[in-house]
Structure 1
Amino acid sequence: MKYKTVYLALLLSTSSSFAADVLMKEKAIFVDQFAITPYTESSSNIEKTNVKREALSTISTTPDGSQYINLATDEDLRIFKSALDKVRTSALTEQELSALVGYMPGSPVEENEITPSNVHGSDGRTRVQYTTVSPYRNIGRISSGCTGVLVGPKHVLTAGHCIAPGNGTWINNLTFSAGQNGYSKPFGTQSYTRVLTTPGWFYDSDPSLDYGMIILKSAPHNGWNGYGIYAGNGTYTVTGYPSDKPFGQMWGMSGRTTSDTSHIYYSLDTYGGQSGSGIMDSGNNVRGIHAYGSANQNFGTKIDLTIFNKIKEWVASY
């Protein structure tokens, strides 16, 4: 029974039933601003209880302002909900589901160089000194003041609010600098051909859908990180570009996490600028996207089966 339900989910992840992009009449509205992390008192009111059409759909734009929509059909929604219900009622743990569905592997680069780092100050974060080696070369600074991580040759996964404020507009002139270290950009700076997110984030600031992707014009190098469904509570690492540290420095911290159906929670030290950082397991596979802080704890968007399928679709399609 367990394998049957996961098999149905895998069929969905390779489905080609989604409609093609449709050019919208409305041109994109771009705003010149740094990404601002939405303030969140707590996460108690942002629990995701079911899959909505917005979670299966995509809205995107190109630099010239052409805006595209790819809406899931009623049949897409029905099929996905049916399969997801079967997965949920099969009593699979997060670890079992993650193991059975598997993950999309990265393309690490073999290096002999060691990756020492220094600890500065009393907080728990550690500065990454050598950013040109894996997995740090796949992490980069986004010009909106955020962090992103390559999950494909030209595919930067990040938080939705790092590319769109959540009010129907896009952030202007986005660029990505892989492995940035202070003012040094060892792999240069790439502009984009398209940015994508879900309509639920783009129009309604739905925190459970706060993720997006930047498609670069060219690959910074030949590496990227794997990604997969959150593999259960355990030790994970968040590494990015906090704005309370000197400009362009990469910092990270590891620690224990917990989760609910929508988010991953942790007491790891983070700061503005780290939004969009991958929440990575011990194999450097991205299992979530850091997005929020509150008075009690920090947290990010959890990669569940729905989001895993959407990321996989974006990497395959663009």
Structure 2
Amino acid sequence: MKKIVVLLLVLFVSILGFSQDKKISGYFTTKELTKNYVDTIVNIKNYNIYLLKDLNPDSRYKKILTSLNEKFEISISKKDAKKYYYLEFESENRGALYAINKIPNDTILIAKVGENLGDYSKYKIMVGKPAIYLYPKVKSEISIKNDFKGKIMNTYPSYKNGWNVMAEPNGVLYNLDDKRTYNYLFWDGSYNFTKKHYNYENGFYVKKEDNITFLQEKLELLGLNNTEINDFIVYWLPELNKNEENFIHFWVNDNIDNSSILNINPKPETLLRIFMEFKVYNGEQKLPIQALTSTPRKGFTVVEWGGSNIDEPILK
């Protein structure tokens, strides 16, 4: 009888130990500038926490908490701890801020925006705001299909297996599908670039106060006109200005590192595609300055610009 009692006690302790949850508490923080342009750490109050199986953006995830307070407290069962290895913190209310952390061995975690796990090739990166401008020599019907290797997320006007427009020489587009007029065609998407994509050999290091002058100078050099430059700056300046200094690299006329092929009929005589990638500069050794060359415009011209903040990967 004593042996049976001892065995039952051992079994009970074993089951109790297995069922114990891992308790973790901490804060989700970001860095912001005060009115006096001083960096300060701010705790985020409204965010979700998910369990991720791995760093593959298509991995299954499980929401474990919606926090309305600065501090979070979560419990992870041993069963979930065997299945999931990372925590994702997401705040849509503050412009889709993300942080990714391995589930820690201890019980305290400070999740910080901008300090995600650093192998960008494991994340989907947002190909942001590509805008396509068409300038035929005479009013022409033009069709465009985008062979994008990733996932197209948004289009305007609606893509519907391609765009078909009547284009004026001044760039005004009449979309044949919805019978509306547009200044350019818009799309964005997400894509897993290879690790090699991020092995930059050159680029630029631009301080916040120099962003406008830098963009005006470099975009004009690359061949954008005033309207295109203004559209580009209006869209990307707020993102660049979040950091005191950025590393910037341009992909020019390379189909966004062969991730996006534009099939245009009739075929343009000049195709200019500019894609800007940037991230916060944290004091690492600087690379050589990137050499840029201009693309002269001749005949029917198509221009596309876009960009990506590679510090903000898309995880879902």
> Which has a greater percent of strand?
2
TM-score after normalising by structure 2: 0.25
Bigger-Rg structure (1/2): 2
TM-score after normalising by structure 1: 0.25
Where relative contact order (Cα < 8 A, 6+ residues apart) is larger, the structure is 1
